[in-house]
């Protein structure tokens, strides 16, 4: 690494901001410039893994998609996850897309204008996905608005919608146009139950129909992210949606910190789990490359991780009871969306600062092949943990701790 030291510090090379760590893309670029090819190949193997013993292949996308990326200035990347050839099953290849984006207008603009501007911004990116033949597309958490849930200002509730509301109708047209399943995470207003608000993902089928919805299971209470001012824990369980292209599920944002949440989607048969998020560098960026990739490995499914981009500044400063001075933003939403596979391979991430579309071909046969190889389901001992949980939930639970009998004995 002498070359790095001669030409400047690693921090300078990576142009780190907001006190957070670099994304895998920046790190890979740095290492590729400063390591010998053979050593770089080994480092890349450890960072991104190997898919069927090989590095991921890139996918050639149509010129129309590239043109949209250039014209509207969004990052566009595409990779291919393969599976071993089988004798009795044909490959089950599905093309999946993730969209990350910043808001389009200042948070002081009229709410209707903000939402309309986001629709206009996303249109070309969705068109690029459609032109690229994407079968399943997932947007970021609460894509249709600023992530205002931590300001504790109730005026933002005006942007909540019913499941069949404006945002769903907007995306249904694209679903029909491109024969595409779309996962749309919104702020939901449940009209039939007292207009209660939920953090919800709407699943739109490739015929434009609404397949179902899932509500966020785990609500954060950490730093600025105290979202229970607006909505509480979801009540839809861990549904898996069987679509024309595979069985999918949605683990919304903070749920990625809960291994049992990931597990439950796997037990219900998910082949692809999306993690639409809104998280900032200072809080979570060191965790970002790890959690979803680990979930894909542990549960033998693919994971698509999406995070919004940019710094959203709000008109009224706020505090969060953590002793820090009042401030007008949550920090930088660092994007870096990426895919993980059950065999521990993953794509590089999208840009940390730009809107983007990540596309991946994935052979869903890899899910069963990984289960057969590692036998995690067979060796999991669920009955052991079911008994442990049953005991833990009782009011008189006592931890199973065996104390050294000499620990508290008085010395003679």
Report the catalytic residues. Answer: 141, 216, 253
Distance, in Å, from the CA atom of 292 to the CA atom of 266, rounded to the nearest integer, reads 13
In eight-state DSSP terms, residue 54 is B
- CA dist 346 and 361 (Å) reads 12
Q: How many helices (H) and strands (E) does the chain have?
A: 13, 17
What is d(CA 147, CA 84) in angstroms, rounded to the nearest whole number?
41
Judge contact between 65 and 133, C-beta under 8 A: no
The Cα 126–Cα 113 span in angstroms is 20
Using DSSP's 3-state secondary structure scheme, residue 98 falls into strand
Rg (CA), the chain: 22
**Mode of pairing for the β-strands spanning 93-100 and 75-81:** unpaired
DSSP state of 273: E
Q: Which of 257, 263, 262, 194 is nearest to 231 (CA)?
A: 194
| Sequence-ordered alpha helix ranges (H) in 179-287 | 259-267, 281-284
């Amino acid at each position: 690494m002498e070359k790095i030291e001669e030409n400047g510090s690693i921090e300078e090379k990576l142009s780190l901001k907001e006190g957070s760590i670099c994304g895998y893309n920046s790190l890979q670029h740095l290492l590729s410039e400063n390591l010998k090819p053979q050593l770089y190949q080994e480092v890349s193997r450890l960072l991104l893994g190997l898919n069927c013993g090989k590095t991921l292949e890139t996918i050639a996308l149509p010129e129309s998609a590239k043109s949209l990326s250039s014209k509207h200035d969004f990052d566009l990347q595409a990779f291919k996850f393969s599976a071993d050839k089988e004798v009795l099953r044909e490959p089950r290849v599905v093309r999946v897309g993730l969209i990350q984006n910043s808001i389009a207008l200042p948070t002081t603009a009229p709410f209707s204008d903000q939402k309309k501007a986001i629709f206009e911004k996303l249109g070309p990116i969705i068109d690029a996905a459609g032109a690229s033949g994407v079968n399943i597309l997932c947007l970021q958490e609460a894509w249709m608005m600023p992530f205002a849930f931590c300001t504790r200002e109730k005026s933002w509730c005006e942007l909540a919608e019913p499941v069949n509301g404006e945002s769903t109708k907007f995306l249904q047209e694209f679903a029909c146009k491109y024969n595409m399943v779309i996962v749309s995470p919104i702020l939901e207003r449940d009209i039939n139950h007292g207009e209660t608000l939920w953090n919800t993902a709407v699943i739109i089928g490739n015929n434009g129909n609404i397949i179902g919805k899932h509500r966020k299971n785990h609500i954060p209470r950490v730093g600025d992210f105290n979202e229970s001012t607006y909505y509480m824990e979801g009540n839809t369980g861990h549904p898996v949606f069987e679509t024309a292209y595979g069985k999918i599920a949605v683990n919304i944002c903070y749920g990625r910190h809960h291994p049992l949440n990931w597990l439950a989607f796997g037990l219900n048969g998910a082949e692809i789990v999306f993690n639409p998020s809104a998280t900032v560098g200072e809080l979570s960026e060191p965790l970002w490359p790890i959690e979803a990739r680990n979930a894909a490995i542990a549960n033998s499914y693919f994971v698509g991780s999406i995070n919004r981009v940019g710094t959203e500044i709000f008109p009224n400063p706020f505090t969060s009871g953590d002793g820090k001075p009042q401030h007008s933003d949550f920090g930088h939403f660092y994007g870096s969306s990426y895919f993980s596979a059950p065999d521990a391979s993953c794509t590089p991430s999208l840009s940390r600062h730009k809107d983007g579309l990540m596309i991946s071909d994935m052979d869903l046969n890899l899910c069963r092949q990984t289960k057969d190889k590692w036998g995690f389901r067979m060796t999991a001992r669920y009955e052991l943990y079911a008994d442990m949980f049953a005991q833990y939930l009782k009011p008189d639970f006592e931890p199973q701790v065996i104390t050294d009998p000499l620990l508290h004995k008085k010395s003679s």
